[in-house]
Amino acid sequence: MADAANNANEEARVSPAAEANRDDLEFLRDAARTIPPLLLKDLLSNGVCTQCIFRLFNLHEQISSRPSLGTPNLRAILHELTEHEEDGANSSVEETEEDFKVCRVCVGILQFVYNDDKGMLVKKDHATHFAAAIGDVIKKEGYQLDSFALEVSLPLIIVENEQAVWLYMTKKYGSEVREKYASESMAVKDFLKLSVINPIEKLLDAKSNEGSFRIRLTYTQSNASAKEKPFNESNECYKRRKVDEIGSIKNIGGLHKDERHNGMDSLTFPIEKVNQCCSLSFQCCKTPIYIGGRYLKYSRNVSQSRWIIDDERMGEASVEEIIGGHVLPICRGDIYKFHAAGREDIDVRMLGTGRPFLVEIQNARQSPSDVLIKDIEMKINSLESKLVRVKNLKFLGSQGWDLMREGEAEKQKQYAALVWISRPLTDDDTHALLSLKEMQILQKTPVRVLHRRSPLEREKTIHWMRIERIAGSSHYFLLQLCTQAGTYIKEFVHGDLGRTHPSVGSILGCRAEIVQLDVTDVKMDCFQE
């Protein structure tokens, strides 16, 4: 009596999870009863997985909404229905490791079986476990994200297999099969995404959309996989047969196991057995983020970007390395790229308001907060070398490049140049230069950069010029000028053997050279206070 009471109590204490699982199985059992019995038995006996059967007969939503149900449960439901059809029994089939076979249609993809990047066989029980494997990769990398996009790449054979199965069912059971089911059935790629997206969302606490973070699943055929037999009209088993000779079968859902039509049993399944599943590689990548601001360069021995000639560094450092080397570790990205609104020569200082720049971080694991951004700015500006300083540093997400390009063609630059001329400066010279406003010049690519730039002729504008005399020296003066972006200033002064015209030298009628040059302002709206 005591044992009976204990058993009754045990039955009463069925967990909510077990109860829900039982309800899900009953729901799927009812759904599976809508599949024509002969078709169901045919596909099962020919090695088509339960997931493919459900999706082929438009039951993808019913199964994908229950991602924690394992393949053995699903297969037991379908076997139970086929056995009930044959024997009138309601028995279940327990699938063992020995019973498991790779699906001939999806090649194991919807069974969540694959070879990893080390060639090891991996088998997940259901969609939730498969999603967990994806989530583990992302968490291990330490990504910060609130949304993601899932991308799936499949080998072409998956599409070919699907087409072969539909043609086989059409020939064997009539065109009504295709008309009733094919138009609404879901492709393998879409079914896989539908099955795993919800579990991934829960694991990562992130939404699936066209976000900046991308998860890519790339399936490829293993070399050891069995070769597929193409399914076409020339196959021996289909010679001299046409669909209309076999005849169309009415009321497919009501077919009985004994109902056969002329030649049906002679039709063979068009896809050979699969010996090995696909290989799968996971790739996680975040679209680039941008940290932007303005930089000032105080040294005449610092290049803008890293400059190496014949394995020898030119200059003592670069703006790119100083700034990028501080930004990359904070964002925990793979690499960085440095972009600036124009460039200055290594011997030209960048003063005044500074030059706008972007640091592009590839595959950043962390999007830095405003506090971290200010910390980066402070560390760069506190360097003992005092070579470079930054200002207005800010996080720009993925819109940074658009901001940099905004108004790029119209930007202006101001310079201060110490100029030497071959004769004493006169008042007429000063007046001649001051009177020139919005002057158009033509510049051929300078001789000094012809080895790396296309030989073009460019029209540029000199907006205005000002002159300051230097006390005690009649051959030197300070030239301040505002020009269109992209103007070669050194060449505008000395003329570059006539390749820039007019030039300061040609206007004054003498030799003119720049002794020192500084950029004092780059007028662009981006990265201002």
Q: How much helix, strand and coil, in percent to the nearest 5, is found in the chain?
A: 35, 25, 40
Q: Are strands 207-208 and 147-153 parallel, antiparallel or unpaired?
A: parallel
From the list 111, 105, 106, the residue with the least C-alpha distance to 168 is 105
Q: Are 278 and 317 a contacting pair, CB within 8 Å?
A: no
Token pair for residue 3?
């044992």
From the list 103, 10, 111, the residue with the least C-alpha distance to 48 is 103
Q: How many alpha carbons lie under 13 Å from residue 169 in its C-beta half-sphere?
A: 25
Residue ranges with strand state E in 154-305? 207-208, 213-220, 279-286, 289-297, 302-303
Please list the residues that pair with 468 across neighbouring strands: 478
From the list 336, 332, 354, 359, the residue with the least C-alpha distance to 344 is 354
Element (H, E) at 155: none
What is the chain's length?
Answer: 529
What is the SS3 assignment for 392?
strand
Token pair for residue 217?
């699943």
| Catalytic residue, candidates 125, 190, 345, 375 | 345
d(CA 365, CA 192): 26
How far is residue 45 from each of residues 21, 80, 91, 509, measured CA to CA in Å? 27, 13, 17, 96
Q: Are 275 and 225 a contacting pair, CB within 8 Å?
A: yes
d(CA 63, CA 339): 49
Q: Are 162 and 187 a contacting pair, CB within 8 Å?
A: yes
- Buried-exposed string 54-70: b where 16+ CB fall within 10 A, e elsewhere: bbbbbbbebbbebbebb
Our answer to whether residue 375 is catalytic in this structure is no
Element (H, E) at 303: strand 302-303
Token pair for residue 143?
């990504």
User: What residues act catalytically?
Assistant: 345
